[in-house]
Structure 1
Amino acid sequence: MTSFITPIKYEQDTMYLLDQTLLPSKEVYIEINNKEELWEAIYRLKVRGAPAIGVAAACGLYVCTRDLLTDSYGEFCAKFHEVKEYIASSRPTAVNLFWALNRMEQKLLALKSSASSSCWEKEQIHIKNQLKEEALKIYQEDVEACYAMGMNGLSLLKPGMGILTHCNAGTIATAKYGTCLAPLHLGQERGYDFKVFADETRPLLQGARLTAWELNKAGIDVTLICDNMASIVMKNGWIDAVVVGCDRMAANGDGANKIGTSAVAILAKEYKIPFYMFVPTSTIDLNTPTGQDIHIEERNGEEIYKLWYAENMAPEGIKTYNPAFDVTDAKYITAVVTERGIIYPPYDINLPKIFE
């Protein structure tokens, strides 16, 4: 059986996050006690991957508000909302962040009828316990969703296939199992003997530091390649399918994922290789019409030429453009794999059906 790495732990009323910026050299868990630490962890990519960000946000929002001392339900709601909005400002693209935070707030608002001003001290304890239960429910739902997504994805793959990945949508990007890497882990347990090629994923190297590390740790045959080698491995006939994750999918099926994903999709189309995007339903944003409406986070340009080098690999102060994501047009996506099933084009018609 595969031993799954857990990126988020909640033990003895304490929250810990695996600091993924230190991988693969060190496996260190950091304790989260306040909104500043949580914001920093999300922004600095200590926790990353849309599902994991959502789970961390839900658990973290509870942790950051469990010690609030207020005189009324209204005052508690106001302070809770303030913390929620602060955490939400950490990263603008991953829809799971806002989905999880909003769900926690909706849970709080649903408890209004039980809040009594005459015994607020007692009711406050009850409300906080309910928020904790909701956060842990979000955690467990992600575990179950990723397993289902993995099984759905595995139905599209055959033993011995060559698989190309980009970025990391593995077990460390979720509560457990992963999204696009879930079928690889589950296939490993079933003797599928996949041959995986992992794009390094510039500039933050999630493919090299995280996917290659995670799959190697699980005993899966993985070969690390530079991003600009994707075309040649496809041309060589070594790739039978591409599997990638998604940080936000628009209503028309356009999917935002780590920068470089769209280039892989275009190559796959050229070489007639199926391109599968793994998308938890919590990541599908039917309120966003197309990929053009997705806000793309732009990060500090020093990540391109300074972050991983002993000396700068470009002149100091050089102009840079460093978008964290790009949008893969729906026409390049062979199928969308969710925990509720596999969706095929036309996505503008079939995506809403998954919620019925």
Structure 2
Amino acid sequence: MPQLQSRSLRVHADTLEYLDQTQLPQAEKWVPCDSPEAWQGAVKNLAIRGAPLIGLSAAFVLAQFAASHPEHDWQQVSDRLRATRPTAVNLMYCLDAMEACFEQGANALAERAAALFAEDRALCQRMAERGADLLKTGDRVLTHCNTGALATAGVGTAIGALAVAKQRGVELHVFVDETRPLLQGGRLTAWEMADLGIPYQLITDSMAASLMAAGKVDKVMVGADRICANGDFANKVGTYMLAVVAHYHQVPFYVVAPYTTVDPACATGAEIPIEQRDPAEIRGAAGAFGEVVWAPSDAPVWNPAFDVTPASLVTAWILDTGVFDAAAIARGEHCQGRGVAASKCWRTT
């Protein structure tokens, strides 16, 4: 296995380490991931998170398992990994790419995982540059969840665009939604903004409407976990509410994602499986700070990890392959190269 490293993933010859994102920003703790089961646990508790990073880390876990278990049923392991996060389609993309190499042996799997890593870095850079092209000095940008280097192998998606704009000398001000379920914006995006030297202010998700009503937001940029053939997309819960408010206040709303997030076999957002999370995340909170509970221990909870935003609320989709408006989406231009023959690549079971 080649030596590779991103902001939150380290690949060694025979081991994999991840930066535990549940410990940030208080501590930067690297944790070895030595089995498919360990990876599943890390993904479920959001220690490993971000649609691209989830897919890439799964590819390395599968490659390393194959190298140490040559006689095992690799397909069975891949299926288990696939079922861990049903909403994010990048996981399906990476695992299908790995499965296509099964007959070529473990070395081919290691090479394919490394190629996926390199591909994601290149995709991040291209989409970030396209997103940065839409930003100008003085823009006040609102973002949701965490879409930076922590979530990818490269500079990130929506935050990647902010980072490239900063590199170009574009002066921005960013409003950061704190984001449920584990305050990914408050813990991770705020940390990345400080690291990038981009001025920001942290807000609760419920404050975005008031901020837009006051005329303080010029653009909204978010990531995506799955983009459908019609442009509907799934992202971290709270995104749909943000899109509705932006539409009402006529604030441009952009989705930034790699082409690996596009699922042409999924016609509309109604077909996207939405993961339900642990009710305890709503009744209280736990993290590096410890644990606190503020609701009755038996309070009924509805806790979807994602919601679906209709294409009608999106100004443009910024992919590595181009910037697509509603007319381009209607023509299916964002799905080019992702036809019926590729439908297996986005199955979830």
Query: Normalising by the residue count of structure 2, what TM-score does the alignment of the two structures yield?
Result: 0.91
Q: What is the alpha-carbon distance in structure 1 between the residues aligned to residue 212 and residue 313 of structure 2?
A: 16
Partner of 1:315: 296
Structure 1 Cα separation of the partners of residues 297 and 41 of structure 2: 26
Q: Is the 8 A contact 2:219 2:252 kept in 1?
A: yes
Give the drift of 1:352. Answer: 4.7
**Pairing of 1:1-356 with structure 2 (within 5 A):** 6-70=7-71, 79-109=73-103, 111=104, 127-308=105-286, 310-346=291-327, 347-352=329-334, 354-355=336-337
Q: Which sits farther off after the overlay, 61-70 or 248-257?
A: 61-70
Deviation at 1:350, TM superposition (A): 3.2
Unaligned stretches of 5+ in structure 1?
Answer: 71-75, 112-126
The separation in 2 between residues aligned to 1:33 and 1:91, in whole angstroms, is 19
Query: In terms of Rg, which structure is larger?
Result: 1
2:224 touches 2:233 (CA, 8 Å); kept in 1?
A: yes
Q: CA deviation at 1:313?
A: 1.0
Amino acid in the other structure paired with 1:232 = S
What one-letter code is carried by the residue in structure 1 that aligns with 2:250?
Answer: K
Deviation at 1:316, TM superposition (A): 1.0
8 Å CA contact 1:275–1:334 kept in 2: the answer is: yes
Structure 2 match to 1:116: none
Q: Partner amino acid for 2:55?
A: G
- The letter of the residue matching 1:312 is V
* Range moving further from structure 2, 307-316 or 19-28: 307-316
Post-superposition Cα deviations, 1:266-285, rounded to whole Å, max 9, x if no partner, equal 11111111000012111100
8 Å contact from structure 1 (residues 340, 354) kept in 2: no
Q: Which amino acid aligns with 1:334?
A: T
SS at match of 1:131: helix
Q: Contact between 1:162 and 1:194, CA under 8 Å: does it hold in 2?
A: yes
Tell me which residue corresponds to 1:73: none
Find the counterpart in structure 1 of residue 345 from structure 2: none
Q: How far apart, CA to CA, are the structure 1 residues paired with 2:107 and 2:66?
A: 11
Given that 1:296 and 1:323 are in contact with CA atoms closer than 8 Å, whether structure 2 keeps it comes out as: yes
Root-mean-square deviation (CA, aligned residues, Å) is 1.5
- Which digits, 9 at most, give the CA deviation of each residue in 1:267-324, with x for residues without a partner? 1111111000012111100001100000100111110122247442111110000000
CA offsets per residue over residues 12-47 of structure 1, 9 Å max, x none?
432111110111111111111111111111122111
- Distance in 2 separating the partners of 1:83 and 1:11: 21
Q: What is the DSSP-based 3-state SS (H/G/I as helix, E as strand, rest coil) of the residue aligned with 2:134?
A: coil
Q: Tell me, what secondary structure is at the counterpart of 1:307?
A: strand
The 8 Å contact of residues 251 and 351 in structure 1, kept in 2 or not, is answered as no
DSSP-derived class of the 2:75 partner: helix
Alpha-carbon spacing, 1:161–1:5, altered in 2? closer, same or farther (3 Å): farther
In 2, Cα distance between the equivalents of 1:148 and 1:273?
A: 24
Q: Distance in 2 between matches of 1:108 and 1:348?
A: 36
1:5 Cα offset (Å): 6.3
% identity of equivalent residues: 39
Offset at 1:174? 0.5
Partner amino acid, structure 2, of 1:348 = A
Contact 1:170–1:181 (8 Å) recurs in 2: yes
- Give the 4+ runs in structure 1 shifted more than 6 A: none
Secondary structure of the 1:163 match is: strand
C-alpha distance in 1, partners of 2:333/2:222?
18
Distance (whole Å) between structure 2 residues aligned to residue 149 and residue 69 of structure 1: 38
TM-fit CA distance, 1:11: 2.5
Please give the alpha-carbon distance, in whole angstroms, between the structure 2 residues aligned to 1:165 and 1:278. 11
Letter in 1 for 2:246: A
Conserved? CA contact 2:317–2:324, under 8 Å: yes
Where does residue 115 of structure 1 map in the other structure?
none
Equivalent residue for 1:117? none
Deviations 1:83-103 (A, max 9, x none): 111111211111111111111
SS in 2 for 1:82: helix
Residues matched between the structures, number: 330
In 1, the alpha carbon distance for the partners of 2:96 and 2:15 equals 22
Would you say the 8 A contact 1:248–1:255 is kept in 2? yes
Please, which runs of 5 or more residues in structure 2 have no aligned partner?
Answer: 339-349
